[in-house]
Amino acid sequence: MKKLCIVFLVMVVIAFMEPLVFAEWETSIVSTKSIVEDDVDLYLTHIQKMTSDIDILMELVSSKYVRYNVRSRLKLINSDIRDIRRIIGGGVIKRWLPMSEDAFDKLIATLEEASFEDDMLNILRGISSKNYFTCSQVKRIMDVFEFSEGKISAFSILYKHIIDPENISVVYTSLDFSSDKDRISEIIEDMSE
């Protein structure tokens, strides 16, 4: 009976722990858009300790099937924890925030001061690796370019850094020719695969 109670307790904890923990964590990211990384790391360490404790309790369970299923679930939870730590460590949480208006205005000024479109594209390559943009911002950047080729190249550089792809139609307004719009559609299709 004791083993059955332990198995039941473990299953309940595993069944409810992950969805509640990660749903709460995800909601806090979306609602506040800022997280103190140390607090998240402490929270994740606590969850990891709980999974370790459950893994130890699994030694008391005689059913190999139950042990295997619970340990498989624990591996998934620990994998999620590693992914979250990687995301936090890589600054990906900040990716949900577009470049600030002040920084964006400075970027536009820098692009406008550049002598050639190749120089402008090099600036974009450098800045886009650590920043994210709204479709409106991408359109404003494309508008700085005089020729269609530069606009399309700029879009190609920035596309993976757009945080609101549902507003992609805004980008098309920067282009005059349907052939250029078709090229943008091709870039989106190619990069989405």
Mean pLDDT for the chain overall: 76
Query: In this structure, what DSSP letter does residue 147 have?
Result: S
Q: How far apart are CA 18 and CA 143, in angstroms?
A: 45
Segment among 90-99, 143-152, 170-179 with least mean pLDDT: 90-99
The whole-model pTM stands at 0.53
Torsion sign across C-alpha atoms 71, 73, 74, 79:
positive
Q: At a CB cut-off of 8 Å and minimum separation 6, what does 58 contact?
A: 10, 66, 67, 70, 71
Q: Residue written as tokens 């700085």?
A: 144
Average pLDDT over residues 167-180: 92
